[in-house]
Amino acid sequence: MFDLVLSLGKLAIGVGTAIYEAATMSPEEQAAVKAWADSKADELVDVRAQFKAAGDAKEAETRKVIAEAKASEPTSSER
Partner 1 sequence: MNPDNRHRLAWAATAFFVAAIACVLAGCNVMANFDKSRGLLAEATKGCYGSMTAINIERQDAIQADVRAHKISGDSATAELDSWLVTYKQGATVCKAGDELAQTAKNARPIIEAAVDKKKQVGDWIARIGAFVATIPASLARLGITGGP
Task: Pick the binder of partner 1 from 1, 2, 69, 77 (CB under 8 A).
Answer: 69
d(CA 33, CA 24): 13
Q: At its nearest, how many Å lie between partner 1 and the CB of residue 5?
A: 15
The answer to the question of residue 30 lying near partner 1 (CB under 8 A) is: yes
Residues 49-68 that bind partner 1 (CB under 8 A): 50-51, 54-55, 58-59, 61-63, 65-67
CA 2 from centre of chain:
32
DSSP 2-62: HHHHHHHHHHHHHHHHHHHHHHT--HHHHHHHHHHHHHHHHHHHHHHHHHHHHHHHHHHHH
**Footprint of partner 1 on this chain (CB under 8 A)?**
7, 10-11, 14-15, 17-19, 22-23, 25, 29-30, 33-34, 36-38, 40-41, 43-44, 47-48, 50-51, 54-55, 58-59, 61-63, 65-67, 69-70, 73
